[in-house]
Every structure is written in C-alpha cells, then in structure tokens.
Chains A and B, each alone.
Chain A
Amino acid sequence: MTDKKIKMEKKFKIKLDGKTINVIEGQTILEICRAKGLTIPTLCKQPGLRSEARCRICLVEMDKKLVTSCSTYPSPGASIITKTDRVKNARRRNVELIMAHHTGSCNINEDEKNELCYLAKEVGLEETRFKKVRNYKPTLGSSVIRDDNKCINCGRCVDTCSKIQRVNAIDFAGRGFNEHVASYFEKNLPETSCIKCGQCIINCPVGAIREREHIDDVIEVLNKKKKHIVVQIAPSIRVSLGDDFGYEVGTNVEGKMVSAFRECGFDKVFDVDLGADMTIMEEASEFLRRLKDGGPFPMITTCCPAWILFMESFYHDMFHNMSSCMSPHEMLGMLTKTYYAKKVGLKKSDIVVVSVMPCTAKKYESTREELQSGVDYVLTTREATKLIKHFGIDFRKLKDSKFDNPLGVSTGAGTIFGATGGVMEAALRTAYELGTNEKLKSPDFKSIRGMKGIKTGSVMVNDVEIKYAAAHGGANVRKLLENAKDYHFIEIMACPGGCVGGGGQPIPTTEDIARIRGEALHKDDDKDNMRKSHENPVVKKIYKEFLGEPGSAKAHEILHTFYKKRSEF
C-alpha cells in the first residue's frame, strides 16, 4: 500500500559487512540488508508503515555507532556492520529488557506462536536478569480483551489502529516505565470508538490483545446435545483454516473443513456463501430500485460489521447511503431459524446457530439489538482451530465432504465475498443481468480485484454509466469517502485485504498472506459452474417458497436492518 513517489533515483556506494555495494538513496539499512538476503531481527517494524523505532532491536553498527536499521538512511560511503559482538549483545540486551516486563506471562522456551519468544531464541537469550516492575489488571471487552501485563509497548497495535485503520481508539498513556496502551480516559474498549476489527490482535507479537472467546460455550452446547446445532462457515475460512494445520498459505481446505466440523458434533454444516448469494439478491435489487428512483447514491455495502461501526461513529451523514441488508451470516442465521426450521419442523428456540468467521466484529454484531440476530455464537478462525483440536480431530487425515442441504449450495459469487472487491464483483454480476435482462459477456470485473487500497471502475447498465469503487483498510476508506459522491456503488471492508485479512484469522496474517488467500478464492470462483448469485437454485427456491420477491416485505422483515449513531470518541 505504499505510494512510491516518482523521483530521480540517486545511487551511491556503501560498505555492508566489508563488501562495497550500490544502493539507491531513500532506502533504510533494513531494506538494503533484506534485499541482500541478510536477516535482521525486528519487532516493532510493520511493513508499509514509517518506522517509529521503538523497540531498538534491529540494531546495526554504522560508522562505529549503533543505529536502528529500520529508521536509518545510510549516507554515501557509510560502513555498516551487522554481525559484530557489540551488535549482537546490544540486540540481546534490549530483548532482555523487554522480556523482564513480559516474563511471568509466558515461557521463553515453550510458546512457539509468541513472536517475542521466537525473537529471544533468535538473539540467543535464555533468561532475563531483570526484575518485572509493573503489574496491571486485564481489561475485558465484548470482542477484545487486553492484558497489559503481557504488553511490551512495541506500539504495533497503536500504529495499526491509527495509521492503517485510522480509528485511533487506542494510544499510549503514562510516561516512562508507566507508559501503557490505553483508550480515551482509560475507558473500556467497548465504550470507545473501537470498531472491533481485531487488526490489533493479528499484529500483536505477544498476544496481549485477543478476542473474547466463546469456544467454551460452544463446547458446552455440543456436549449437551439437547438442541439442533448448526454451524455456518464464512467464505474466507476455507482458504485460511489450513494455516494452523500446516498447509501452505492459501490452500483451499473446504472438504476437510466440513468433515472436521461434522466430526465436532454439529448436526448441520451450512455455507455462508449461500448467505452471501442472498445478500447479493437483496443488495442488487435494492441498487436497481435506487437506480430507478434516482438515488440516494452512492449506495454502500454493509457486509462488514466493523465498517458499520466505523460509519456509525465517524460518518453520521451517511446513514441514507447504507444498504439496509444484513451481513451474509446474519441472513443465513435468520433463514436457518425461519425457512429451514419450518422445513424440518423445528421451533426457532430448538436451533443453535454457530458462525465461524474471520472476524472479531461479528462477535459484536451478533449482539446488536438492531438486528435481533439469528446467530447464537460467533467463533473466529483461531477459535475454530482450537475447537477442532479440542475434539482431538486429526485434520490432515480427514476425508473431504460436502456442505449439508438445503443451505449448503452456493455460487462462485458468494465465495469471493471473502476478498476485497468480491462483494462488488458479485453484486455487479447480478445487478447487470437483472437490470438489463442480458447475459454478461464475462462475469469477471478485474479492475475491482487485488490489494490496491482503492479500486474503481464503471459499467453501462441500460445506458447509465454505473461508477463503482471498493476500499479496504480504514485509512483507504476515509480517503475514498472524501470523494464518495463520484460513485454509484461502493464496497467497503474494514480490514486490509477484506475478510481474508480479517482480525479473526490465524496469526500471522499479513497483507501478503491476505493477497494469496484472496487469489485462492478467485481461483475457486473460476472453477465454479455457477458464478452468479441469481443462478443459485437454492436461492431461487427460497424466494419461491418463502420470501416471494427480492426486496419484498417479508424479505425486509427477515433480512434487513437499521443503524444508530455513536459517539466519535
């Protein structure tokens, strides 16, 4: 996402570990070293962001002085050494100082997922000679829990919240050794403008912030077996769940995933892709209606609950621009408890719906009063992994199986919801064909795909040029909305990369990983026979048997919602 300015490139020579090399002006020592294949340990540095050089771990020696490689630009003729004892000792001592504070909540030798512990091994630290000096109480939220005892003040969550998401719900407070991450007036996170996207969680190297887990509740429900338990799985999970079971990033494990949940004891495994198809039907017809009525434009998608919170806090003048559609998993949850319940002859109260989502904001969404959620529990991808491991299931040895009927048939359009631009692409496929009664030459809208922060394009529908755009990541969202009036239709996802980069995904999840997962979803879509939501036979059946028309009174009663204003702080 870095916007590189075009300028004259100046080249000069420096000495790196004794060898003379050519470098381009404006590169940090870290960038130069990484390009040369040298590994330098880092902690607080985040790709794409200006370094704050807080942690002081990426030290190297430049002209006899210790400097942080992430923030230092070498001058011509500089001599840089990366491997002396002085450098190694200084790095190790800084990790040691950080460890002193973190120790007590984690064991250097045991916790593999903990980046700090990994770092400690990398710099050869076995135990710290320093005492722990601070003690805090953990703070609890409905979606996010923070434990300052584990926090090492690296500032990655703060940078993420302020620079990538532009939410600014958290920042540092206190000074000296009392510095800690806090929200306004030390309020609890749920009382602030936090949008619960969970990006701070996937960027935390030590697990000081994590989601509030509902895994124990789900296990209890599964063990009691008193109710009909349905699990529904979000589009992006099939390409991210594999990460935690040793698969290569972006591997599609849909078949094994379905088997695994069935093994856990769920009665039915449904596909949120179908919910996505339903969302498209409702959203596309809402859009066509707006087109007929002349507005209001732009219409903005509402699949992302973090974006909903973002809008409710910061864009009070945009309520009328929002689509009234619920998000796909809420739609499917409602359909499970109404349409499906009726079909199988169960009462609404007999069914428990568990959603597996790449998202922490969905946890909050299912408690929203505005939509009287059909979903009882939301698990993140990480929790899903834990659940599968809890039941002792050997994921890699499972046989593939298919989603259950009737709510398990989906199209490629639903699948690509998991990647940024996917909702827009799916909506355009349906809106075009329903609006013009013509077949699209190609269902591909390539201009809306990929990891570019803001993507735009246009298509002719009945002699009207429809301008559409998609943005992901709060900073890009703010940028796009400055020119919102230029567009008819806008898709917004709060997390970089869309749901594939969601705050509930396995750690690590970086922009690169999100891109690979997104590409995997598009590959899945390409292979699909059905690539348009309105071609889904189950969708047709639901409308025929239950809802009538898209946008009908019944559809509105079950599948639509409204929003409320929130404080900016």
Chain B
Amino acid sequence: MQILKKTKMNALKVARNLGPLGVVEILRKKKVTGRGGAGFPVAKKWKFAMDTDSDVKYLICNADEGEPGTFKDKFIMLKNPKTMIEGIIIAAETIGVKNVYFYLRGEYLNLREGLEKEIKSMLKKSESDASIEIVMGAGAYICGEETAIIKSIEGYRGQPYCKPPFPPKAGLWEKPTVVNNVETFVHIAQSLYFDDYNTNLRLFSISGCVKKPGIYEALSGESLTKVISKAKPTNKPKAIYFGCFGGCKPYKEMKLTAKNICGDDCVHGAATLIITDDKTSAVDMAYIISKFFTYESCGKCTPCREGNIQVLLLLKKLRAGEATKEDYELLKELSLHVQETSLCGLGQTSTKHITTGIKYFESEFTDLIKEDGTGKEE
C-alpha cells in the first residue's frame, strides 16, 4: 500500500531544499488534494494562507474522524504516524507556521500517548522550531467541520460559522489558518519524495455486510465490484452508503470515479463504503442515520436543528405504519429543505440518505404508508 510507505525524513530534506514556493509548485504539479472529503487542491489552499500578510499563522491537522464507517485516519495514525508528522512539519515550514494544533477525535484518546511520543521525537529529529500541540475533541461530530474545529480550539462552542472570511485569510484567532486532514499530510510528504507517487490512489473504508471490513487501497476509477470483493461481502450487496452523509446508491457494477459516485445526488466524501444486503431495509437505514444526525446536529441553524428532529419523528411514524400519504410527502419535502437551507456541510448532507434512499428504493418507503390514508378514498 502506498499509504504505508515511509519517507524517513527525506521528504523534509527535499522540502527544505526546494523552499516554500518550490514545495507548493510540486504539490500543484502532482495534484495533491485534500482527503477530508471536499478534495480541495492543497497547493491552492496553502497559497491563500501564504499570500495573506500576517506575522502569526496557524496550521490545524484535522484528526476528528467522526464519520460513521470511516476509519482511515485511525489506520494512518497507528501504522504510519511518522510520515504524517513529517508532512505536518513540511506544511508548517512552508506556510510559515510556529504553532500547529492536532485536533484529535475524543474517542481516539487511546492514540494520544503514542502520537505525543512520535511528535516529540520527530520534532527533535527534524530540528524544526514549530510546535505541535494535541487538542482533544469531546466527541462532537460537527467539530470535524473546518470552521467548527477553529471555534472548538479557540475554546468556544464547536459550531460552524459563515464564511467568508475563509480560514486561510482569517481563521483561528482571526489569523490565517490552514486546516488539512491526517491523510492529506501523508500525501504531502510522499508526493515530495517518491517519484512514483500516485495521487489517484484512495483509501476506502469498507464496512457493513462484509466478512473483512477494513481499509483497502484502490485507484480512483477502479471497478466497485473488484474493490468490495476484497472485503468479502456476506450476501449479495443491495446498496452502498457513502458514509452517513453521502447518501446511497443501489449496488451495481460501476467505476469508482469521483464523478460516477458523487454524481448529482451522492457525496463521495472520504471514500467510505458501507455495504448493505437484502436483509437491511432502506427505511431502517434511514431511521438509524437520521437518529445519528438528530443527535449530532450542533443546533445552530433552524433547518438542521428543527428539521432533523421532525424528519426523525416522521420516519418513526412511517416505520410504525402510522404515516399518511401527507406525512410521506412532508418527509420528502422536508428532507430536501434541510439540504437546501442549512448553514454548514453537516446540515446540507444530513438528509441525503433519505432523498437518495427514496429515489432508489421508493417502494420500501411507500409500502409502509397507512392504507386508509388520503388518496385512496377518492
């Protein structure tokens, strides 16, 4: 696996020889993109922060991996932390950052001690004057969001805020701030040192109805069947959920390109594949995921706070066989509304699983509508 290849301080040497602009140029040429989900080009993000005039700048490593079914960052922090830290040091020196914050997911407390040791020894070895401080999350899913992470580190409620200003212009304590994901830093280090570095290799977190859930590396554009066959599905797969927020698609042979699986209704995100089989109903999945988002909504904006709880109540009614046709229509309407009008990425994707679930498995939903509802009497 490419992700496990270690750069052994060589990438840092290369970076120091190249200088900041040289590093950015290589990242641009090798098309290194963010691995948190949005896929924003790293070089572009860094350039924004580098071009902003400020004596203090910050770097945040986003290790708040809260997406259900996603565990690639944990895998990296356990298997290849040195290369990741090297990537962080390269980033700090390139952007001109003295203080780096490593925002670790609250549930990953057991990783903290090991990481601290690695960070200490790597900083010593590299003779870098940057500091890397681990900040523990407290378990909120929303704190993986770029602006919420900033608020959380500042000591405020971990809630997103409206952009602009974008973090590379004014983020942590109003200073230029770059937020990158754990996996991204490994790619940064590797892209500088390995000539055969391939930016198209992605880490797929596969779970659900499979015998061997885990991390699988595959080229973007690989056949879906081929990728998930490695994880050994227990039965014939029925649907693929791209994490909780990404929505779902019926299982069929397709190429795992960003275009193909993101399409217009799903979000590719952090390459999370949750496989369900025929025994799992789409409505049950919708209910479980809805429960998750109702609990994890930060509560800041109306559609996400009030909308998700109403969606959950409607799904509950549906599962109990008490929903009328009107309720079903309201569910559809509200799901779309939450996506269209919420403030941050969480709200905007929190009902994707319902809109896509209804799109592809509509009969499973409509079968549960109360028989004597409106429409039949006429």
Contact = CB atoms under 8 A, between A and B. Distances in A.
B299 A133 contact: no
Given A54-B300, A90-B337, A176-B299, A153 B310 contact: no
10 contacts: A51-B162, A56-B343, A66-B340, A68-B162, A94-B303, A97-B310, A172-B299, A176-B298, A177-B305, A177-B308
Contact of A56 (B164, B301, B308): B301
B307 A97 contact: yes
A98 B299 contact: no
B302 A177 contact: no
Contacts of A54: 300-302, 343
Interface string A37-68: 00000000000000111111101000000101
B314 to A, nearest CB: 9
A184 interface: no
Contacts of B337: 90, 93-94
B341 A90 contact: yes
B164 A94 contact: no
B313 interface: yes
Given A51-B162, A97-B310, A176 B295 contact: yes
Nearest to B156: A171
A184 to B, nearest CB: 13
Contacts of A100: 306, 310
Interface string A427-453: 000000000000000000000000000
B294 interface: yes
Identify whether the interface residues of B are mostly helix, strand, loop, or mixed.
helix
Interface string B296-323: 1111111101111110010000000000
Given A94-B341, A97-B302, 8 more contacts: A73-B164, A93-B337, A98-B302, A100-B310, A131-B310, A133-B313, A176-B294, A179-B299
Contacts of B159: 172
A153 B303 contact: no
Interface in B16-70: none
B329 to A, nearest CB: 10
Nearest to B140: A175
A56 B309 contact: no
Given A53-B162, A90-B337, A178 B301 contact: no
A153 B297 CA distance: 14
Contacts of A56: 301-303, 341-343
A174 interface: yes
Chain A, interface size: which category? 20 to 34
Nearest to A89: B337
A72 B162 CA distance: 8
B330 interface: yes
Contacts of A133: 309-310, 313
A129 interface: yes
Nearest to B314: A130
Nearest to B296: A176
Interface string A91-103: 0011001101100
Interface in A102-148: 129-131, 133
B259 interface: no
Interface in B138-158: 140, 142, 157
A71 interface: yes
Shortest Cβ-Cβ A-B pairs, 6 listed: A179-B299, A97-B306, A71-B162, A176-B297, A177-B309, A56-B302
Interface in A142-191: 153, 171-172, 174-179
Nearest to A67: B341
Residue of B294, B297, B298, B309 ringed by the most chain A CB atoms within 10 A: B309
Contacts of B306: 97-98, 100-101, 130, 177
Interface in B332-346: 333-334, 337, 340-343
Given A71-B162, A175-B140, A176-B294, A55 B310 contact: no
Residue of A172, A177, A179 ringed by the most chain B CB atoms within 10 A: A177
Contacts of B343: 53-54, 56, 68
B161 interface: yes
B305 A171 contact: no
Contacts of A66: 340-341
A178 B341 contact: no
A94 B304 CA distance: 10
A177 B307 CA distance: 9
A97 B340 contact: no
B340 A176 contact: no
A56 B339 CA distance: 12
Given A56-B341, A97-B307, A133-B313, A178 B299 contact: yes
B305 A153 contact: yes
A98 B308 CA distance: 13
Contacts of B307: 97
B191 to A, nearest CB: 31
B79 to A, nearest CB: 33
Given A56-B302, A133-B313, A153-B299, A176 B308 contact: yes
Contact of A175 (B298, B313, B340, B342): B298
Nearest to A133: B309
Nearest to A51: B162
Contacts of B142: 175
A130 B334 CA distance: 11
Interface in A329-380: none
A91 B330 CA distance: 16
Given A54-B300, A55-B302, A90-B341, A177 B313 contact: no
Contacts of B309: 133, 176-177
A539 B337 CA distance: 66
A179 B302 CA distance: 11
Interface in A286-309: none
A55 B306 CA distance: 11
A126 B106 CA distance: 44
A84 to B, nearest CB: 13
A177 B162 contact: no
A130 B342 CA distance: 18
A7 to B, nearest CB: 14
A52 B296 contact: no
Interface in B260-311: 294-303, 305-310
